[in-house]
A and B are shown apart, each in its own frame.
Chain A
C-alpha cells in the first residue's frame, strides 16, 4: 500500500523534508526504469522468444497500472480491461485501414474513444450508485457484449481472424528490442502519471474515498467526479496500451483482448502486487510472466499427467495460494516485513519507542 510505504520511510523526529519527499516519490520509478532498461543486455537481448514474453509482461503491467488507477484507487471494479484495450486496438486498426489518418492521429483517436467509453461506464455506475459488485457485473456484461460484437461484425472487424495492420513502423515489433523499449517507455510514463496523481490533490481525494466514501463525501470531496476522472485516465492508459500492442504485434484478433486472456490476468496480477501500490502491477506482471513461462516449458509428468496439460490447474493453485497468504499484495507484505525489521533494529539500538500505529 502506497500510504504505508510513504509512512514507513519517515525519519524519526520530524518530516522527511522536501528533498527527501521528492526523492522517495521518484526513487521507485527511477529504480524500476533502470532495471527495465538494463534487462535486455544482461538477459535476453538475442532471443526473440524471450523478448516477446518480456513485451507481453510489460503490456500487462501497463494494463495493470490503468486498472490499478480505476480499481485500486477509486474502488470501481472494471472487468472490461480487455474490452477497453480492444476498443483501442480495433479503433486504430480500422482507422489506419479505412482512413488516411497518420499513425499517430489514429492512435490518438483510439485512445480518446477508449477514454470516453471508460468514462461513460464510470459515469453510469456513479449515477446509478452501483456498488463494487454491480459495477463489476455491468462491466463484465459490457466485455462479453463487446466480444460478441467483434465476432458478429465480420465486415468491420474480420470476426475470428481479426485484422492485419499494415504500415507498422519497423523496429517496434513485439519480438524485437525496439518493441521492448517502446513498452518500457509506456510503463515508465504510466508510473510517472500514477505518481503525480497520487501526490496531487487528486491522490488525497482517492485515498479519502477509498478508505471511507461517506466520510470523504461529507468532507467535501466530490466522489463522483473523482471516480469518473480516474476511470477516464485509466481507460485512456488501457486503450493506448491496446493500440500500441496492436501495432507491435501487427494484427488484432478477438483472442488478443479476450476476457479470459486479459481481465482475469490483470485482476490477479494487480491484486498480487497490491491494490493501489505504485509498483504492484509491474511486480505482479513480472512474477506472472515467469510463472507462465515455467508452466509452458515445464516437462515431465505429475500423477500420470503431462505437466503442460495441468497448466490451468497450477494457475488456479497459484491464484488461491497468493490470495490466501498475501491478501494485501506482496508490496504490502514486503513493507510490513521491512518495517518490523526496522523497528527491531531501532529497539536494539536505543530506548524503546512507541510503535507506529498499524493500519
Chain B
C-alpha cells in the first residue's frame, strides 16, 4: 500500500510539472498547446542522440531541455502569431487546431526518422529505503528534481518582479499593458519556460523507464487533464492535481486493474470538472 502510494506520487509529480507547463501557457496566451507532449518527446529524442554520440547523461539532459525550449519558442514566434491576433473562443479554437497540426508534424518527422527512438537515463546505485519502502534511485532523483523545480517556480512567480508581472498579465492583459508590461515578451518567456518544463519531464520520466517516441499524445492528454482538474492558470493547483491523479492512478492500477483504472481516473477528472468547473485551486 505504502509502496503504491509512493509510486503514485513519483509519477504524479511529473504529471504536475507537465500540467504547470500547460497551464501557464493557457493562462497567458489563451492557447491550449496540443503539441505539448510532442515537445517532451523532442527533448527526449535529442537527449538520447547526444548519449549515443558518447556524451555524458548530464550533458544530454541539458541539451534535451534546451532543445525543448527551442521548439517551444519556435511555436510561439511563428505558428502562434496569427492566433494571438484573435480573441476569445476564436483564439482558443484556432490555437487548438494549429497546435494539433504542429503535433502531427513533429510526431510524423520523429517517427519517420527515429521509429524506435527512446530515452533512458540509467541511474545506478542501491535502492534507498523511504518509509520502509525500497525506492529506486532513479525515482528518487526524479521526485527531487520535480519538487525542486516546482518550488523554484513558486518562488519565481510569487517573489520576483518578473513573476509578479507575469501574474498580472494572467489576471488582466490590458491592465498589465497600462502599467508598462509588454505581454508579448512575457508570453515568449513563458513559452520558453513551459518548454524547459517539458524537457525536464522528459529527463525525469526517462529515469524510471524508457520514454519512447510515440508517447507524445498520451503525455498531452495527461497534461490536459491535470491542468483542467487543477484549475486553468493555477500553478499550485496543477501540482496538487498531478499528485492526486498520480496516486489515484497507482492505487487503482494496483488493486483494480489497468483498463478500469483509466476509466476511474478519467471519471475522477470529469467529476472534478463538473463539481468545481474552475478546478481545485482555480479562481
A313 touches B269 (CB 8 A): no
Q: Which of B39-47, B100-108, B196-204 participates in binding chain A? A: B100-108
A313 to B111, CA, bound (A): 9
A232 to B95, CA, bound (A): 28
A64 to B277, CA, bound (A): 28
Render A118-158 as a binary contact track against B, CB cut-off 8 A, 1 for contact. 00000010001111111011101110110011011000000
Knowing A144-B262, A152-B259, A316-B104, say if A134 contacts B228 (CB, 8 Å): yes
Chain A neighbourhood of B257, CB < 8 A: 152
In the complex, what's the smallest C-beta–C-beta distance from B280 to chain A, in angstroms?
A: 14
14 residue pairs from A and B, CB less than 8 Å apart: A131-B89, A132-B93, A134-B228, A138-B270, A141-B273, A145-B262, A152-B257, A305-B113, A306-B112, A313-B104, A314-B108, A317-B105, A319-B101, A324-B98
A316 touches B108 (CB 8 A): yes
7 new A-B contacts at CB < 8 Å, known A128-B274, A309-B115, A319-B101: A129-B277, A142-B270, A271-B97, A312-B105, A313-B109, A316-B101, A323-B94
Question: Which residue of chain A is the closest to B99 with respect to CB atoms?
Answer: A320
Question: Which residue of chain A is the closest to B232 with respect to CB atoms?
Answer: A133
Indicate if A315 sits at the interface (CB-CB under 8 A). Answer: yes
Chain B neighbourhood of A132, CB < 8 A: 89, 92-93
Number of CB contacts from chain A to chain B under 8 A = 112
* Residue of B107, B259, B277 touching A148 (CB-CB under 8 A): B259
A→B interface (CB under 8 Å): 75, 77, 124, 128-134, 136-138, 140-142, 144-145, 148-149, 151-152, 260, 264, 267-268, 271, 305-306, 309-320, 323-324, 327
Which residues from 142 to 201 on chain B have a C-beta closer than 8 Å to any C-beta of chain A?
Answer: none
A315 to B82, CA, bound (A): 20
A151 touches B259 (CB 8 A): yes
* Residue of A149, A152, A309, A319 touching B97 (CB-CB under 8 A): A319
Indicate if B281 sits at the interface (CB-CB under 8 A). Answer: no
**7 interchain residue pairs of minimum CB distance:** A316-B104, A313-B108, A152-B259, A312-B108, A319-B101, A316-B105, A320-B101
Chain A neighbourhood of B92, CB < 8 A: 132-133
A320 touches B98 (CB 8 A): yes
Knowing A316-B102, A319-B104, say if A130 contacts B89 (CB, 8 Å): no
Which residues from 94 to 150 on chain B have a C-beta closer than 8 Å to any C-beta of chain A?
Answer: 94, 96-98, 100-109, 111-113, 115
A152 to B263, CA, bound (A): 9
A271 to B89, CA, bound (A): 14
Chain B neighbourhood of A145, CB < 8 A: 262-263, 266-267, 270
A316 touches B103 (CB 8 A): yes
Q: Which of B93, B94, B111, B115 has the most CB of A within 10 A?
A: B93
Q: Which of B3-11, B217-225, B233-241 participates in binding chain A? A: B217-225
A320 touches B102 (CB 8 A): yes
A131 to B109, CA, bound (A): 34
Knowing A141-B269, A148-B266, A151-B259, say if A313 contacts B98 (CB, 8 Å): no
Knowing A149-B259, A310-B112, say if A137 contacts B224 (CB, 8 Å): yes
Render B72-88 as a binary contact track against A, CB cut-off 8 A, 1 for contact. 00000001001000000
Chain A neighbourhood of B108, CB < 8 A: 310-316
Indicate if B260 sits at the interface (CB-CB under 8 A). Answer: yes
A124 touches B101 (CB 8 A): no
* Residue of A151, A309, A323 touching B101 (CB-CB under 8 A): A323
A305 to B111, CA, bound (A): 11
* Residue of B79, B112, B266 touching A320 (CB-CB under 8 A): B79
In the complex, what's the smallest C-beta–C-beta distance from B193 to chain A, in angstroms?
A: 22
A323 to B94, CA, bound (A): 7
In the complex, what's the smallest C-beta–C-beta distance from A128 to chain B, in angstroms?
A: 6
Indicate if B32 sits at the interface (CB-CB under 8 A). Answer: yes
* Residue of A141, A324, A327 touching B270 (CB-CB under 8 A): A141
Knowing A133-B32, A148-B262, A313-B112, say if A138 contacts B104 (CB, 8 Å): no
Q: Which of B98, B105, B225, B262 has the most CB of A within 10 A?
A: B105
A137 touches B228 (CB 8 A): yes
